[in-house]
Amino acid sequence: MQSGNLSTVSEFVLVGLSDAQEVRRLLFVLFLITYLATVAGNITILVAISTDARLHNPMYFFLGNLSLLDLLCPTITVPKMLEALVLENKVISFTGCTLQLFFLIHVVGTEIFLLAVMAYDRYVAICHPLQYMNIVSMKLCARLAVGTWIVGFFNSLLHTSLVFTLFFCGSNEVDQYYCDIPPMLALSCSSTYSRELVILTVAGVLGSSAFVVTLISYIFILLAILGMNSAESRHKAFSTCGSHLTVVCLFYGATICTYVRPSSTYSPHQDRVVSLLYGILTPLLNPIIYSLRNKEVKRALRRVISHVRIAL
C-alpha cells in the first residue's frame, strides 16, 4: 500500500450540493436559515442552563455539553457549503480537508459517548433516586464529560490518520458537501481494505459499547417505570427520558447509515440525504425536542427570552 506523503493531490473540490445549479440560491437560503436557527437554539439552551441556578445539576450539565456539540457539528461543515453555494468556491485545501474531517469525527464520536453517559445518568435518576446525588456527583459528571471529549479526540485522530495517509492521485472531486470518510476512501488510489477493516472494527467496538450502555440503561429504566404504581410518576419518568431517547434514535440511525458499512456500498446521493439529517437537522431538532418536552427548560428559556426583550 502506498501511503505517507505520496499524494499528488494538494486540494479537493467539494461538489456536494453545489452541483445543483438551478436550485443553488434556494438551497443557500434554506441552509442559512437552518444553520442560524441551529446556532440560536443551542446558544439559547447554553445560556439558559448557565444562568438558571435550578438547572445546575448533572442532567442539564450533560445537556449543555450536547448543545455545545450540536453547535459545533454544523459549524464545521455548513459555512464552507454556503460559500460553495453562493460564491461557487468549492475548493478546500488538503490541510483544510484533513482538519474538517478530524473535527467532525471528534464531535460525532464525542456525542456517541455523551449520549451513553446521559442514558446512565437517567438510569441512576429513575432506578436509584434516593442515592442519585451521591452516585452522580458534579465531580463525577465533570470527569465523565471530559472523558467523552478525550475518547472522541483519540478516536478522531486514528480515523483521520488512516484516511489521510492514503495515496490520492486521480480525481480530487469529493462527492459530498464536506470531507467525510466514505467519499475520501472512494477517491483513494490505494487499496483501502485494511484501513476500512480497522475503521469499522474501532468504530464497531466503541460505538457498540456506547450503544450497549445506552440500551441496558433504558431496559432497566423501562422496567422501573412499568413497576411504578402511580400514573403520575410513570408520566414524569417517561417525560424525563423521552427527549433523550428521541435524540438517541435520530443520532444512531443517521450515523449507522453513514459509517457502519464498507465503501463498496457508498452511494453519494444517499449519503447526502443522511448527512444532512445528522449534520444539520439533528442539531436543529435537539434543542427543540428538549425544550418542548421539559418544563424546567421551557421556563428557563422564557426567562432568557424576556431578558433579551428587556435589553432590546
CATH number for the domain including 206?
Answer: 1.20.1070.10
pLDDT at 5 over 60: no
Dump pLDDT digits (tens) for 180-234.
888 888 888 888 888 888 988 888 888 889 889 988 998 998 888 888 777 777 7
Three-state SS letters, 73-107: HHHHHHHHHHHHHHHCCCEEEHHHHHHHHHHHHHH
Q: Where are the alpha helices (DSSP H) in 128-164?
A: 132-135, 138-164
pLDDT at 17 over 90: no
pTM for the full model? 0.85
200, 262 in Cβ contact below 8 A?
Answer: yes
pLDDT at 12 over 80: yes
The answer to the question of residue 63 being in a domain is yes
Grid cell in block for residue 100: 474538517
pLDDT at 2 over 50: no
Give the model's confidence band at 259: pLDDT under 50 very low, under 70 low, under 90 confident, else very high: low
Q: In whole angstroms, give the CA distance from residue 239 to residue 230.
A: 14
Dump pLDDT digits (tens) for 280-311.
888 888 888 777 667 777 777 777 777 777 77
The answer to the question of residue 68 being in a domain is yes
pLDDT at 264 over 70: no
The answer to the question of residue 13 being in a domain is no
Closest by CA position to 286, among listed 17, 41, 21: 41
Across the chain, what does the average pLDDT equal?
83
Dump pLDDT digits (tens) for 70-80.
999 999 999 99
Q: In whole angstroms, give the CA distance from residue 202 to residue 181.
A: 14
**Residues contacting 153, CB < 8 A, separation 6+:** 106, 110
In angstroms and rounded to an integer, the radius of gyration of the C-alpha atoms of the chain is: 21
The answer to the question of residue 1 being in a domain is no
How many domains in the chain? 1
Strand order in the sheet with 173-174: 91-93, 11-14, 173-174
| Domain span at 154 | 18-158+166-311
Mean pLDDT of 64-89: 90
The answer to the question of residue 125 being in a domain is yes
Mean pLDDT of 136-154: 94
The answer to the question of residue 8 being in a domain is no
Grid cell in block for residue 131: 442515592
